[in-house]
Amino acid sequence: MKKLAKILLISTAIWLPQVAAARNVTFDLTVKSYTGPGAYVVVYITRPDNNLHSTIWLNSKEEKYLPALRGWHRHALRQGVRIDGFSGASLGAGKSVKFNVNIPDSLIDTGYKIQVDAAAEDQGMAPKDVNIPLSSKNVKTTGKRGFITAFSMKM
């Protein structure tokens, strides 16, 4: 059996390139309140052809939990991803997280999308809970499946 680890090693660099023309984007997200262990969340960018462009935030490095991030994992299996460089801490129920990413101008307003998958034990999976165009407008939204209760993107 090929393990994901192997795929990771041969990964086609899906790492945000350091380009001059980029914008610093601030993301802020909150997961729903429930009783139980913390949630795993991934934030990623998809291309106009719906393939994965890059993974910008992921809070699990444990392979066994990654399949629960169903939409992202579908891409990860097919294309390979790099997950070192992300934190391994789950996000407690009801908790928020805020982070900044430099996103190249070429991805903005050109058909790329921001997607968020989330999952937690006994709480089910919420693939593509957030699925919005990567636009230059500031966005405030909630997850369609209700796992991400608040999501904002500011440039």
Partner 1 sequence: MLRQLHSIPGLFAAFFVFILALSGAVMSIQPALDKLDAKNSNQMSIAKMASLAAKTHAGIELISQSANGTLVVQYFNDDGAGKDIFDPQTGQSFKPQQASAIFGFFKQLHRTFYVGTTGRVVAGIIAFIMLLACFSGLFMLAKRLGGWRHLFSTSRGKKIPRLHVDVSRIIIIGLFITSLTGSYMSLAKFEIIDDGKGSFLAFPENILGTDPTPVGQLPALQNIALEDLRELRFPFPDDPFDVFTLITANGQGYIDQATGEMLVFEPNTLSRNVFEFFYMLHTGQGLWWLGILLGLSALGIPIMSVTGVIIWWRRQKTSTRITTNVAADKAEIVILVGSETNVTWGFAQHLQQKLAKTHIVAMNAFKPTTYKNAKKIIFITSTYGDGAAPESASRFLQKLDKSNKIPNFEYAVLGFGDKQFTQYSKFANDVDAALTAKGWQSFLPLELVDRQSSQAFEAWGHKLAKKLDLQLELNHIVSQPKIFDLTLNNIEDHNHDDEFFTRIMQFSLPTNMPKFAAGDLLAIIPPQTNIARYYSLATSSADGILGICVSKQQGGLCSPYLHGLKVGDQAQAYIQPNENFRPNKTQSPIIMIGAGTGIAPFIGFIANNNSKRDMHLYWGGRHPQSDALYQKPLAEHLASNHLTSLNIAHSRTENGQYVQQKLTQDADKIQKLMAQNAQIIVCGGRAMADQVKQTLADMGIDIDALKLDKRYIEDVY
In angstroms, the CA 135 to CA 147 distance is 23
Q: Is 8 in the site for partner 1 (CB under 8 A)?
A: no
Of 13-21, 70-78, 99-107, 110-118, which part binds partner 1 (CB under 8 A)? 70-78
Q: Is 17 in the site for partner 1 (CB under 8 A)?
A: no
Q: Is 29 in the site for partner 1 (CB under 8 A)?
A: no
Q: Which residues contact 59 (CB under 8 A, 6 or more apart)?
A: 40, 41, 42, 86, 87, 88, 89, 90, 91, 97
Q: Is 64 in the site for partner 1 (CB under 8 A)?
A: yes
In angstroms, the CA 40 to CA 80 distance is 19
Q: Is 60 in the site for partner 1 (CB under 8 A)?
A: no
Q: How far is the CB of 38 from partner 1 (least distance, A)?
A: 9
Cβ proximity of 62 and 90 under 8 Å = no
Among positions 67, 82, 101, 133, the unique one binding partner 1 when judged by CB under 8 A:
67
Of 3-11, 12-20, 103-111, 133-141, which part binds partner 1 (CB under 8 A)? 3-11
Q: How far is the CB of 66 from partner 1 (least distance, A)?
A: 9
Q: How many residues interact with partner 1 (rule CB under 8 A)?
A: 28
Q: Is 133 in the site for partner 1 (CB under 8 A)?
A: no
**Looking at 32-70, which runs of residues are DSSP E strands?**
40-46, 52-58
**Is 18 exposed, middle or buried, given 0-12, 13-18 or 19+ CB atoms closer than 10 A?**
exposed
Helices (H), 17-139: 70-79
Which residues bind to partner 1, rule: CB under 8 A? 1-4, 6-7, 34-37, 50, 63-64, 67, 70-71, 74, 77-78, 122-127, 144-146
